[in-house]
Amino acid sequence: MVDNFPHHIAIIMDGNGRWAERRGLPRIVGHRAGIKAAEKVVKASQDLGVKILTLYTFSTENWKRPKKEVSALLKILADFLRKDNRHILKYNIRLKIIGRIDELPSALRISLSRVIETTKNNTGLIVNLALNYGGRLEIVDAVRKIARDVLKGGLLQENIDEEIFSRYLYTAGLPDPDIIIRTGGEFRLSNFLLWQASYSEFYVSRKLWPDFTRRDLKLAIDTFKRRERRFGGVV
C-alpha cells in the first residue's frame, strides 16, 4: 500500500543500558524499563492504526554481552510473555517472531509458542519480535533453503527473483517496513532487516528507549508523513 501512513513500523529499541547506567543502576533495570516502554508503544501503535510493529529485541550479536546480562534479559522477556498473555489477548494483538528461535532458552521458547498459538487468530496489530535476529544470518538461512529447494527440484534457478527470494526470509508474507525508528541517538542498522530496509525511511530519536513515549511515536509518524518517498523515480 503506498500512502503517507507507516503501516509497518520497525523499531531498534536502543539505550536501555545507558538509561540505567545514568541512574547508577545495573543495566538489567534498564531492560525491565525497556519492556514497559515497549508495552506502551504497542498500545499506542494499536490506537494509531499501525498494522505491523517489528521490535528489535535481541540480536545475534547480543550474545557477546556478559552472560549475566543475556540470561537476565531473556528471563524477563519470558516472564513478561507468560504473565501478560491476557493483556495481549485483550488488545487483539497477534504475536509473531523472526530470528533463530531454536537457539533461545527453552523457557522463552515455550512462552513464545504459547502466545503465538493463542493469538494466531487475532485480527489487530501484528507485533513481530526480532529475537536472536541477524539480518545477514537471515539472508544466509534463506540462501540455504533456496539451495535445498533447487536441489530437490522444487525451484528452478532461473525463476529466483526478488519476490521469490523474499518468501524465503523470516519475514515472508510481511510487507517491508515503511519506517525504521532507532532510539538512543546512533545512526546505524546494527544488522537489522538488511534486505527489507532497502527503501525504508530512517528516523533516529535521541531519547533512550525507556524514555520513548506515545508522543515520540506520534512525532516519528508525523515526520514520516512529510517525507517524500521516490523509490528511485521522480515525483
Name the site residues for ligand IPE (rule: CB under 6 A). Answer: 12-18, 56-59, 62, 73, 184, 186, 188, 190
Min dist CB 57 to ligand IPE, Å, is 6
Contacts with Mg ion by CB under 5 A: the residue count is 1
* Annotated catalytic residue, options 3, 4, 14, 121: 14
Nearest CB to ligand IPE, comparing residues 20 and 93? 20
Catalytic site includes residue 4: no
Catalytic site includes residue 191: no
* Annotated catalytic residue, options 16, 62, 128, 132: 62
Q: Parallel, antiparallel, or unpaired: how do β-strands 52-59 and 8-12 relate?
A: parallel
Pick what 224 binds: Mg ion, ligand IPE, none; C-beta below 5 to 8 Å, kind-dependent.
none
Min dist CB 216 to Mg ion, Å, is 17
Nearest CB to ligand IPE, comparing residues 28 and 169? 28
> Within positions 12 to 51, which residues make up the interface with Mg ion, using CB under 5 A?
14
Nearest CB to ligand IPE, comparing residues 57 and 196? 57
The catalytic residues are: 14, 62
